[in-house]
Amino acid sequence: MFRFVALFALVSVACGGLLPDDLDGRIVNGVDTTITAHPYQVSLQTTSASHFCGGSIINENTIVTAAHCLQSYRASQIRVRLGSTNYKSGGVLVAISSFTYHPGYNSKTMVNDVGVLKLATPVAESANIRYVKLAKKTPATGTPAAVTGWGTKCYLTCLTLKTVLQEVEVDIVDENVCASSEYKYGSEIKETMVCAYALNKDACQGDSGGPLVANNELVGVVSWGRGCARSGYPGVYADVPSLRSWILEQAN
């Protein structure tokens, strides 16, 4: 995996907690959207209200995010904003009681890049807060999907997060196709991953942990990629169907 630590450290500071490498979850060429359209989306924030990752609410007290989002924090340092289009205000801001990430998570290969947070206070569904179902089967390659988040709109040179929720439409690329010669990752694509691709469209820094949704189900968690919206390099996501049983164990 490529790491440009010195340069990305500057990006990390400017963006408030983003990862110092090009494996950060990655919205480019998206459009403004609303939390009403994506009521499962949440913002993970520090106690100083700095957004650092996205997530999805799956029941009254459980948030699904990426394992790599949780490596630098204690539970007492994290808050979750739910039910707001603007990550800086509105909705409800809730502390978490605990979190865990997959025991098989590997920061070098990015396998099993999923984590679960438990809210300190249960949150009921409303017009702007809805639990999303976990997909049982990875959709076929070509299935339309949506990825959302408050991340930057381009790679490296855009250091400001969007305050209004962004959405981009992409197409599912299953594990086998993503690892084929059609794309450029090759053997870096592992069993617990799924990809999504659209020309000049992608997630970007600050979107990590957020939802990839198809057919109104959570099919992926924003994980990593080579830059943002680079030709031949789909966005890579933790594959929810293959990690579903572990997620449900933690949720219950």
Domain membership of residue 184 (yes or no) is yes
**Does 106 lie in the same domain as 173?**
no
Q: What is the pLDDT along the chain (252 residues), one digit of tens a residue?
A: 332 222 222 233 233 333 434 444 445 556 789 999 999 999 999 998 899 999 999 999 999 999 999 999 999 999 999 999 999 999 999 999 999 999 999 999 999 999 999 999 999 999 999 999 999 999 999 999 999 998 755 444 445 667 889 998 999 999 999 999 999 999 999 999 999 998 665 566 568 999 999 999 999 999 998 867 677 889 999 999 999 999 999 999
Q: How far apart are CA 59 and CA 63, in angstroms?
A: 8
**Does 236 lie in the same domain as 141?**
yes
- Active-site residue flag, 113: yes
* Full domain range(s) for residue 221: 133-241
Q: How far apart are CA 25 and CA 52, in angstroms?
A: 11
- Active-site residue flag, 68: yes
**Does 138 lie in the same domain as 228?**
yes
| Active-site residue identified among 21, 22, 24, 113 | 113
Q: Which of 114, 53, 56 is nearest to 82 (CA)?
A: 56
| Active-site residue identified among 22, 68, 174, 202 | 68
- 175-202: burial string, b at 16+ Cβ within 10 Å, e else: bebbbeeebebeeebbebbbbbbbeebb
57 exposure class (CB count in 10 Å sphere: 0-12, 13-18, 19+): buried
Domain membership of residue 29 (yes or no) is no
Tokens 């340069």 belong to 7
Domain count, the chain: 2
167 has which bridge partners?
A: 31, 148
CATH of the domain at 85: 2.40.10.10
**Does 183 lie in the same domain as 162?**
yes
| Active-site residue identified among 12, 43, 84, 208 | 208
Domain membership of residue 62 (yes or no) is yes
